[in-house]
Amino acid sequence: MSKLRPILNLSYCRYYSVKQAKKKLPIITCKRPEFNHYEGQSYSKFDGIPLASKGWMSKKSKNDFFIIYGNANQKEEKPVYKKSFEEIGVSPALIEVMSEQGFTLPTAIQTKAIPSILSGTNTVMTAETGCGKTLAYLLPIFQHILEWKPSIKEEFNSPLAVVITPSRELATQVGEVAQNMAQRLNLNVTTLVGGRTKQKMLNPPIEYCDILVTTLGAYSKLVTTGIFKINNVHHIVLDEADTLLDDSFIEKVSHLLKKFPIQHKVQIQTPPAGCQITFVSATMPHELPAAVNSFVDPESLKTVTTSNIHRILPHVPHKFMRLGKAQKPVELLRLVQADMNQNRPVMIFSNKTSTCDFVSMFLNENNIECVNINGQMAVALKLGKFDLYKSGKVNALSCTDIASRGLDTLRTQHIINYDFPLYTADYIHRCGRTGRIGSPKDCLITNFVAWPREIEQVQKIELSVRKHSELPSVNANIRRIIEERVVKMAGIL
């Protein structure tokens, strides 16, 4: 009897623990309820962590699914939210502009980032998508320019601050936000994107410009040719910095930024001396110091972030569906038809341009108007397509990851990953197209999971949520990761 008692006690404790957990909010609900995960639930080190997706490598697992509602351990930001714009150093003129636009209190990342940037500190701003990062750097830049401008001799094509982005779409969007503020402050904003750079060289623009919002390629060429001057630039922003610091961009970024006198810390004075830099993104590569040390002292960088960085969005349900390749078009049509019936804007992400084109054609053939955007599309075709979706003329957008970085897709209520992304950073950015500040309620994310590498990625995400930890391997340097894997495979073979 003494040998049996520990077994009975253990069984009772497990039953009691599960019974208590079921009274709490579900964090993961599954088709097979035995894999449900509840708020506050933890697992024995000896038993391991059960995964709903563990058996998904088997073809028999098709049609299985689970839904993540958020991480139970994600805590709300501290009462830093309560601070006013005035308390964090924003000038009365800018507070009035923000009030006119309906912003009465700063968000968490704005509360942390604005004082840092206002002080002249080189800042790394990393926060979840849709939390107000654009205004977090635009507000202090506008405030500085309002202070500097009276003492600086105005020159043509000589901005005081430059915002660099990896894509035309993001540059256009940031330019619109900046222009909306600038017209109330009597400041000039210019948006410069590629596409007709040679024409600009032959017939250069001549205009007064306080803030320039631009793509890397276009700005680099026009600085090299001397059309845009850099002597008055006192603030540089790399928006979507994880992409700009990726191996595909870093050489050009480094070559360009070496031209600027980026200081350890800019002394805020009139006129200013030196140049300040701000990095902005929802994810940031771990190799950041090594990537930037050619143009800025890594020790000068101050990192500001929020508690939910590199985690599943807690306010948007993520549904993971195990499907076969042949099931995906049928399921896509079913979901998008339901979206159209409810007037619910949807973005459908694919990993390849060919799949992105197929999705668009397939939906249009089934009487669902859909536009598509991908990186290989000619500029003339791509221009305006996102505007059709953003303006509400079209409610379905098929895209590759070119649309996942930084675009302010406030109206998007549904994200469908037709192809599941193979890298965690891409998943974070894609999901960030919905559930943003100002987005409608009842947003959702649906993931189609079909291939072994996709299943491996889903298992890592599910495990991190059950462990209450950050998402794994959040790194934007995709090319480097691939090269490292090739080297490892070569060593094995």
Quote the domain boundaries for residue 125: 83-305
Q: Which two tokens stand for residue 466?
A: 């059950």
d(CA 265, CA 300): 7
DSSP state of 423: S
Q: In this structure, are residues 186 and 161 in contact, taking their beta carbons and an 8 Å threshold?
A: no
Are 123 and 164 members of one domain? yes
Q: In this structure, are residues 18 and 36 in contact, taking their beta carbons and an 8 Å threshold?
A: no
Question: Which residue stretches of 342-477 are H helix?
Answer: 353-365, 379-382, 385-390, 424-431, 452-466
Taking only the tens of pLDDT, the chain with its 493 residues reads 444 434 334 333 444 344 444 457 889 999 999 999 998 888 887 778 999 999 999 999 999 999 998 654 444 444 444 689 999 999 999 999 999 988 889 998 999 999 999 999 999 999 877 788 999 999 999 999 999 988 888 889 999 999 999 888 889 889 999 999 999 999 999 999 876 666 666 676 778 999 999 999 999 999 999 999 999 999 999 998 988 988 778 899 999 999 999 998 877 777 778 899 999 988 776 667 777 889 999 999 999 988 777 777 777 899 999 999 999 999 999 999 999 999 999 999 999 999 999 999 999 999 999 999 887 777 667 767 888 998 899 999 999 988 887 566 788 999 999 999 988 888 988 988 888 766 778 899 999 999 999 999 999 999 999 988 888 777 654 444 444 444 444 444 4
Q: In a 3-state reduction of DSSP, which class is residue 242? A: helix
Are 281 and 320 members of one domain? no
Beta-bridge partners for 213: 163, 191
d(CA 303, CA 301): 6
Residue written as token pair 């689970």: 66
d(CA 273, CA 258): 16
d(CA 263, CA 234): 10
Residue 210, in any domain of the structure: yes
Are 69 and 90 members of one domain? no
* Terminal Cα distance for the chain, rounded: 56
Q: In a 3-state reduction of DSSP, which class is residue 458? A: helix
Are 103 and 233 members of one domain? yes
Q: Which two tokens stand for residue 46?
A: 């000896």
Structural domain ending residue among the three candidates 283, 305, 327: 305
Residue 8, in any domain of the structure: no
Question: Which residue stretches of 23-119 are H helix?
Answer: 92-100, 108-118
Are 420 and 300 members of one domain? no
Residues 447-459: pLDDT tens digits? 999 999 999 999 9
Q: In this structure, are residues 372 and 359 in contact, taking their beta carbons and an 8 Å threshold?
A: yes
Are 88 and 219 members of one domain? yes
How much is the pLDDT for 471? 81
Upstream peptide bond of 166 is cis (omega within 30 degrees of 0): no
| Count of Cβ atoms closer than 10 Å to residue 338 Cβ | 12
Are 195 and 340 members of one domain? no
Are 330 and 285 members of one domain? no
How much is the pLDDT for 90? 96
Structural domain ending residue among the three candidates 305, 325, 353: 305
- Domain total for the chain? 2
Q: In a 3-state reduction of DSSP, which class is residue 343? A: coil
Beta-bridge partners for 475: none
Residue 485, in any domain of the structure: no
Beta-bridge partners for 447: 320, 417
Residue 3, in any domain of the structure: no
d(CA 364, CA 309): 37
Residue 144, in any domain of the structure: yes
How much is the pLDDT for 18? 45
Residue 492, in any domain of the structure: no
Domain of 132, CATH number, reads 3.40.50.300
Burial class (CB in 10 A: 0-12, 13-18, 19+), 434: buried
Amino acid letter for position 280? V
**Residues whose CB is less than 8 angstroms from the CB of residue 189 and which lie 6 or more positions away in sequence, other chains included:** 175, 178, 179, 182, 209, 210, 211, 212, 213
Residue 6, in any domain of the structure: no
Q: Which two tokens stand for residue 491?
A: 């060593």
Residue 43, in any domain of the structure: yes
Are 218 and 347 members of one domain? no
Are 315 and 301 members of one domain? no
Of 64, 68, 66, residue with least CA distance to 39: 68
Are 236 and 122 members of one domain? yes
How much is the pLDDT for 490? 47
Q: In this structure, are residues 189 and 175 in contact, taking their beta carbons and an 8 Å threshold?
A: yes
Question: Which residue stretches of 183-236 are H helix?
Answer: 197-202, 216-224
How much is the pLDDT for 287? 63
Using CA atoms of 397, 399, 403, 409 in order, give the dihedral in degrees to the nearest 10. 20
- Strand-pair category, 26-30 with 65-68: antiparallel
Are 89 and 238 members of one domain? yes
How much is the pLDDT for 491? 47
Q: In this structure, are residues 433 and 415 in contact, taking their beta carbons and an 8 Å threshold?
A: yes
Structural domain ending residue among the three candidates 255, 290, 305: 305
